[in-house]
């Protein structure tokens, strides 16, 4: 039989164990209720979730270099522009429309966006901005000019590059009908015409040589085409039936 002494020792040990269990469970409860403990545990869980997301193919850009203009990022395995689509679209230019020029060809012209009429903003008609009288006059005048001849030289009387282009086209080539020269510095609405040419042809400087309503370049371009003996063929090609057999080089 177990002696009474051994029974008392066992009882004391069991009681001590129970006291220790209650003590430590109470301390653990206090720790878990502390704000610092809860916030630390939440941060650890959030970090684990972030790692779990990255391991599944998510994009983690923290600390990475920001993408530059025109670059792309990959999100959910889809390549997307780094610049918003609206900005990317605007970087390519304004909305455009086509107008008929001289009954022979069409030119692409930016739609009217802003401007002023008689010191005020443009008016709107049917929700669309109306063109200024100056813009309408320039379009009408350009249409009339392009009817004068298949080859038009927009020039300025004092410009040496314009003089060079006129010398090549008027002195070194026999073109029928002869090129029509417009001196923008002498024209009543020269600045408005030059602005319209900038918008329609992309060339805002002079000279601006146009064949059948399309720009083929300036003074340097005419010189390069002349030196390579390509100018006559280019004029015939772009002039169509109006210049198909009416261009020849007379001197070098």
51-90 pLDDT, tens digit per residue, is 666 555 544 444 444 444 444 444 444 444 444 444 444 4
DSSP character at residue 203: -
What is the model's pLDDT at position 21?
A: 73
| pLDDT digit string, tens, across residues 93-111 | 455 566 555 555 556 555 5
pLDDT at 42: 72
Q: Which domains does the chain have, with CATH numbers?
A: 96-113+122-249 (3.40.30.10)
Cα 20-26-32 angle, rounded to 5 deg: 135
Count of residues in the chain: 252
* Residue 54 structure tokens: 């990255």
- Provide the pLDDT for residue 14: 76
Nearest C-alpha neighbor of 62 from the set 40, 83, 76, 47: 47
Beta pairing partners, 110: 96
**Residue spans of the chain under pLDDT 70:** 1-2, 19, 22-41, 47, 51-128, 251-252
Our separate counts of H helices and E strands in the chain read 8, 14
- Contact 157/183 with Cβ under 8 angstroms? yes
Supply the pLDDT for residue 26: 58
Are 175 and 169 in contact by the 8 Å Cβ rule? The answer is yes
- Res 85: pLDDT: 42
pLDDT at 73: 44
Beta carbons of 206 and 184 less than 8 angstroms apart: yes
């Amino acid at each position: 039989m177990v002696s009474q002494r051994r029974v008392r020792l066992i009882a004391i040990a069991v009681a001590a164990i129970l006291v220790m269990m209650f003590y430590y469970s109470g301390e653990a409860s206090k720790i878990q209720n502390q704000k610092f403990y809860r916030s630390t545990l939440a941060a650890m869980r959030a970090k684990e979730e972030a790692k779990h997301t990255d391991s599944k193919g998510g994009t983690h850009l923290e600390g990475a270099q920001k993408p530059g203009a025109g670059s792309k990022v990959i999100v959910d395995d889809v390549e997307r522009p780094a610049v918003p689509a609206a900005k990317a679209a605007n970087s390519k230019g304004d909305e455009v429309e086509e107008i008929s020029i001289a009954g022979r060809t069409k030119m692409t012209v930016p739609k009217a966006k802003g401007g002023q009429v008689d010191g005020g903003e443009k008016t709107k008609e049917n929700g669309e901005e109306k063109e200024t009288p100056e813009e309408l006059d320039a379009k009408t005048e350009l249409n009339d000019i392009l009817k004068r001849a298949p080859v038009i030289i927009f020039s300025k009387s004092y410009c040496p590059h314009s003089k060079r282009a006129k010398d090549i086209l008027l002195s070194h080539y026999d073109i029928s009908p002869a090129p029509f020269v417009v001196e923008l510095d002498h024209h009543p609405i020269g600045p408005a015409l030059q602005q319209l040419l900038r918008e329609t042809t992309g060339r805002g400087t002079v000279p601006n040589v146009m064949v059948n309503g399309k720009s083929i370049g300036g003074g340097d371009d005419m010189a390069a085409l002349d030196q390579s003996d390509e100018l006559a063929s280019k004029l015939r090609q772009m002039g169509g039936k109006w210049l198909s057999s009416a261009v020849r080089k007379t001197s070098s």
